Structure 1
Amino acid sequence: MGLREDKKDRTRTQLLEAGLDLIHKRGFEATTVADIAAAVGVSPRTLLRYFPTKEDVIVSWVQDGMTIIREELEERLKSEPPVVALLASARAMLAVFEEKSRFFLAIETAIRSNRSISARKEQMIAELIDEVARILASPDRPCRLPGVVAYTVSGTVFALIRATISSWVEGREGMSLPDIFDQAATVVHFETNGTE
C-alpha cells in the first residue's frame, strides 16, 4: 500500500471513529455530517467522498464484518468442509468484534436506535446470506453443499450470529462473543462432513 492509500485509509478510520464517538454521545439524529468532519479537521465534502450519507458511516462497519466472513470463508473452503469453514468464519468475525468491543457495541447501539439503518443492515445481511449460500453450493467447488442445504446452513449460521450479537449487546451472557456463538450453536446439529 502506497503513502496515498495509507493516508486515505487513516482518514477513513478517523472519520469512522469520530462519527461513532459523536453518535454515541449525541445520538444519530443530533449528529451532523459537518460535526463528524469538523472532529477530524476535514471538510464535509471530504467526508462525503468517503461516505455518501451519514448512515454509511455506520453501515460501512457492517460491510467490514461481512468482508471478514466472506474472505475467511473463501480461504477456509480450500481445506475445510463447507459447514466447518462457515462456522469458523463466523467465529473469526466475532473475534474481531470482541477485540474492538467498545467500538462495535457502540455501532450496534447506533444501528438499533435508527430504523432506517437497522433495515439497511438487515437487507445487507439477507444479501450476504444468499451470497454465502451460493458460495457453499458452487459447482466449482470440489466440496459443495446441495442448494437447499447451503441456504439452510447459511441462514442458520447468520441467525446464530444475530442471536449472539443481540445477547452480547444486552450484556446477558458475560462471555466472549465466540463463546456465546458456540453456546448458541449447540442447539443446532450440523452435518459437518455432508457434501455432494
Structure 2
Amino acid sequence: MAATTSRPAFPGAQPMGLRERKKLKTRAAIREATHRLVEERGYEATTIEQIAEAAEVSPSTVFRYFASKEDIVLTDEHDPAMEALLRGRPADEPPLESVRVMMREALTTFLVADDGELRRRTRLMVEVPAVRARMTETLSDTARDLAQVLADRTGRTPDDLRVRVFVAAVLGALREATLHWAEHGQEGDLLTLVNEALDALEGGLRL
C-alpha cells in the first residue's frame, strides 16, 4: 500500500520531515517504475537494472530500499499509520472490532489513494509464485507488530498463545479475502470480502 505526499494520509498519521519525504519519494518512484515495466514486459522479464534506469536511480539504491524485486511489489509505507489507528481505538473495545475498524479505514484510504496499484499487486500475488511466497514470508513482520499492539491493549505478552492465534487468524483472513478477490477477477468489493472474512472468524463456520 504505497503512499506519497500527494495522497490522502491515514487519520492520525504523523507529519514527516524533509528527509523522510525524500526517502518516500524515492521508494515511490522505484515502485511506480516497477509496476510500469511489469505491465509492459511481464514480471520475470523485468530486471532490477531496468527498474533502476526507469526510476533514475542506481541498482544499489534500489537494493538499499528493497531487498528483492518481490519486496518492491509487496511493501508499503502504511504499517506505522495502521498501528496508530489500532492503538487509537477505545481500550474497552473487543480486539476483533478494533481490527475490523482499522482494516476498514486503512483499506478505504488506500483504495481512494491508488486502486490501480492494489489491483496490480494482488494480480501478481496470484500469477507469480515468487511474489505469493514472499507475501507469506513478510506477513511475519506484520504479525510481530500487530501482536505487540494487541498485547499492549490486553495486558498480555506478544508471545502469549492467545495473542499469537488471534493475530494468525486475522492475518490469514485478510490474506484469503485478498487472494479470493484476485482469483475471481477482482470483481466485487474487497472491503466487503474482508468484512465477510472477519465475520467468519467472529461467528465460526456454521452449517
TM-score (norm 1): 0.76
The 8 Å contact of residues 23 and 110 in structure 1, kept in 2 or not, is answered as no
- In structure 2, what residue type is equivalent to 1:136? L
- Return 5+ residue gaps in structure 1 as ranges: 191-196
| Partner SS for 1:29 | coil
How much has 1:19 moved relative to structure 2? 0.7
Give the one of 11, 20, 25 matched to 1:10.
Answer: 25
- In structure 1, what residue type is equivalent to 2:73? I
Q: CA 1:189/1:2 → structure 2, altered by over 3 Å: closer, same or farther?
A: closer
Q: Could you report, residue by residue, the CA deviation over 1:83-114 in whole angstroms, capped at 9, with x for unpaired residues?
A: 22122122233224423221111112223333
Q: After TM superposition, where is structure 1 displaced by more than 6 Å over at least 4 residues in a row?
A: none
Give the one of 15, 19, 23 matched to 2:38.
Answer: 23
Does the alignment pair 1:88 with 2:110?
A: no
The 8 Å contact of residues 111 and 117 in structure 1, kept in 2 or not, is answered as yes
Matched residues in 2 for 1:49 and 1:188: separation? 38
Q: CA 1:174/1:23 → structure 2, altered by over 3 Å: closer, same or farther?
A: closer
| 1:135-146 to 2 correspondences below 5 Å | 135-138=149-152, 141=153, 143-144=154-155
Does the alignment pair 1:106 with 2:120?
A: yes
Aligned residues: 185
Matched residues in 1 for 2:183 and 2:171: separation? 18
- In structure 1, what residue type is equivalent to 2:88? E
Does the alignment pair 1:122 with 2:129?
A: no
Give the % identical residues.
28
Please, what is the CA RMSD of the aligned residues? Answer: 2.9
The answer for the alignment partner of 1:193 in structure 2 is none
| 1:24-173 to 2 correspondences below 5 Å | 24-61=39-76, 64-76=77-89, 78=91, 80-99=93-112, 100-138=114-152, 141=153, 143-144=154-155, 147-171=160-184
- Return 5+ residue gaps in structure 2 as ranges: 1-15
